[in-house]
């Protein structure tokens, strides 16, 4: 569909909103911004309920007053709940247009948290009915759900349990292989066999999921699938290099790269995020709170720069000959600052002058305060994400790991 420069009209629940077509493309509402990418009327009808090509008017059978409040957010940057409307119903409208709970003002986020804690239904947008599928398509869809959605069937739960078991075995073997007692030739051969079996399972699982996926490009771009590839690929690279160089060659003995690739298999732990709600919640919280995480890092870096410079001056800079040599440079003092702000200190370096100890106390107290400021926001988002994933994971036909985290 071609928008051109015509005026675009959105008919939401009988109320019309007119915008320039170029403005609709830039609106922070994913459902509207995707309209201009539609190539046919059938694709348009997947995003709206009806379309009048002569008047360039899109019809949406949604709550018109709720949409007007959402448009106020687009204009002014502040989104609050609509008065006299259920918070969950308004949140349902937000999700339909492509907004998340993080777009709400903090006071409204707390209200939504309270409502979600009491009631876990009727606030997710209804799934649009799908057209009848061919027998082969239905078989592929069932296979995809079996491997992607652990709660969709009994077979899916069994496969998920087996996958978790292989992950645990792989991690245990990886940790045990670093023990001195596990480096005998017999133990190494047993370890290689177990490792090959686990890698074979992970490879087969990844290949099946790729073959039955509806969108191969989207499958490759998903973070969890990239992690699967990073966890499996080092094994094949190590085997290939071993076959090419020989087990006793000089390159093999100095293979730092091989040891690095081997240790990358620790990423298998992240595969557990497909099956555990807690890890999914952590991933979704980090994605939504990246601004707060950056703000936390900035706080720490600013405080580290200030306290490290003062500590170097008070402990070493005022007396270069007999001063505390642990603080001989600002980079060395940075280690003391970061440890003091985030923990109780290792004790490997500490101030000895009175002024340095006073500065150390201020450093510890400031660390507590600076770390506590953004933590409340992150905790609030964690609770919100946990409630969302808990509701969505309760649906048999919904996959939190594939649709939320990715």
Instruction: Please tell me the pTM assigned to this model.
Output: 0.51
Phi, psi of 403 (to 5 degrees): -105, -20
pLDDT band at 112 (very low <50, low <70, confident <90, very high): confident
User: Mean pLDDT across the chain, nearest whole number?
Assistant: 76
Which residue's structure tokens are 């986020």? 109
Q: Which range, 154-158, 191-195, 335-339, 344-348, has the best average confidence (pLDDT)?
A: 335-339
In terms of average pLDDT, the best of 190-194, 245-249, 293-297 is 293-297
Q: What is the mean pLDDT of residues 120-136?
A: 48
Give Cβ neighbours of residue 91 (< 8 Å, ≥ 6 apart). 101, 112, 123
Query: From CA 209, how far away is CA 219, in angstroms rounded?
Result: 9
**Residue 25 reports pLDDT greater than 80:** no
The three-state (H, E, C) secondary structure of 264-303, written as one string = HHHHHHHHHHHCCHHHHHHHHHHHHCHHHHHHHHHHHHHH
Give the residue-averaged pLDDT of 228-242: 78
Which of 176-190, 318-332, 382-396 ranks highest by mean pLDDT? 318-332
Say which residues have a Cβ less than 8 Å from residue 229's Cβ, sequence separation at least 6: 206
C-alpha 32/C-alpha 13 separation (Å) is: 16
> Token pair of 172, please?
């245990």
| Ranges 4-8, 57-61, 76-80, 102-106: which has the least confidence | 4-8
The pLDDT of residue 127 is: 44
With tokens 């620790």, the residue in question is 266
* Strands across the sheet containing 7-12: 15-20, 7-12, 57-60, 50-52
SS3 for the chain, per residue?
A: CCCCCCEEEEEECCEEEEEEHHHHHHCCCHHHHCHHHCCCHHHHCCCCCEEECCCCEEEECCCHHHHHHHHHHHHHCCECCCCCCCHHHHHHHHHHHCCCHHHECHHHHHHHHHHHHHCCCCCCCCCCCCCCCCHHHHHHHHHHHHHHCCCCCHHHHHHHHHHHHHHHHHHHHHHHCCCHHHCCHHHHHHHHHHHHHHHHHHHHHHHHHHHHCCCHHHHHHCHHHHHHHHHHHHHHHHHHHHHHHCCCCHHHHCCHHHHHHHHHHHHHHHHHHHCCHHHHHHHHHHHHCHHHHHHHHHHHHHHHHHHHHHHHHHHHHCCCCCCCHHHCCHHHHHHHHHHHHHCCCCCCCCCCCHHHHHHHHHHHHHHHHHHHHHHHHHHHHHHHHHHHHHHHHCCCCCCHHHHHHC
Least confident stretch, 37-46, 87-96, 284-293: 37-46
Provide the Cα torsion 86, 88, 90, 96; round to 10°. Answer: -150
Domains of the chain are: 1-61 (3.30.710.10), 81-125 (no CATH), 136-275 (1.20.120.350), 290-384 (1.10.287.70)
Residue corresponding to tokens 């360039």? 56
pLDDT computed for residue 393 by the predictor: 64
Most confident segment among 87-101, 300-314, 335-349:
300-314
Weakest mean pLDDT among 18-32, 129-143, 162-176, 307-321: 129-143
Q: If you search the block for the tokens 């952590």, which residue do you land on?
A: 282
- Where does the pLDDT of residue 121 fall: very low under 50, low under 70, confident under 90, or very high at 90 and above? very low
CA distance 102 to 117: 17
What's the pLDDT score for residue 402?
A: 40
Check residue 128 and give its pLDDT. Answer: 45
Higher-pLDDT residue of 35, 252: 35
The closest alpha carbon to 117, from 328, 380, 406, 327, belongs to 380
């Amino acid at each position: 569909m071609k928008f051109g420069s015509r005026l675009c009209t959105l008919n939401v629940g009988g109320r019309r909103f007119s915008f320039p077509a170029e403005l609709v493309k830039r609106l922070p509402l994913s459902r509207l911004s995707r309209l201009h990418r539609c190539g046919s009327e059938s694709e348009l009808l997947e995003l709206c309920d009806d379309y009048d090509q002569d008047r360039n008017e899109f019809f949406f059978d949604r709550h018109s007053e709720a949409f007007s409040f959402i448009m106020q957010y687009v204009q002014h940057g502040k989104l609050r709940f609509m008065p006299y409307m259920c918070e969950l119903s308004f949140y349902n409208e937000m999700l339909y247009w492509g907004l998340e709970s993080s777009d709400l003002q903090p006071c409204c986020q707390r209200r939504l948290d309270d409502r979600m804690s009491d009631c876990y239904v009727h606030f997710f947008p209804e799934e649009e009915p799908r057209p009848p599928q061919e027998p082969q398509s239905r078989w592929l869809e069932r296979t995809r759900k079996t491997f992607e959605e652990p709660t969709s069937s009994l077979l899916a739960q069994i496969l998920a349990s087996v996958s978790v078991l292989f992950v645990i075995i792989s991690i245990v073997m990886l940790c045990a292989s670093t023990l001195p007692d596990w480096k005998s030739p017999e133990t190494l051969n047993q370890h290689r066999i177990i490792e090959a079996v686990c890698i074979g399972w992970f490879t087969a699982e990844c290949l099946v999921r790729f073959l039955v996926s509806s969108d191969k490009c989207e499958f490759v771009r998903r973070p969890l699938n990239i992690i699967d590839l990073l966890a499996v690929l080092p094994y094949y690279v190590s085997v290939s290099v071993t076959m090419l160089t020989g087990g006793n060659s000089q390159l093999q003995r100095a293979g730092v790269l091989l040891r690095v690739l081997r240790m990358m298999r620790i990423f298998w732990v992240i595969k557990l995020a497909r099956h555990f709600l807690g890890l999914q919640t952590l991933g979704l919280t980090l994605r939504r709170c990246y601004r707060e995480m950056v703000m936390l890092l900035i706080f720490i870096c600013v405080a580290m720069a200030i306290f490290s410079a003062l500590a170097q001056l008070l402990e070493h800079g005022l007396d270069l000959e007999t001063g505390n040599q642990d603080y001989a440079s600002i980079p060395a003092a940075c280690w003391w600052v970061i440890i003091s702000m985030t923990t109780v200190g290792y004790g490997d370096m500490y101030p000895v002058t009175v002024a340095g100890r006073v500065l150390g106390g201020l450093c510890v107290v400031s660390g507590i305060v600076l770390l506590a400021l953004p933590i409340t926001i992150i905790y609030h988002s964690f609770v919100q994400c946990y409630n969302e994933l808990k509701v969505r994971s309760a649906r048999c036909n919904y996959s939190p790991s594939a649709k939320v985290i990715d």
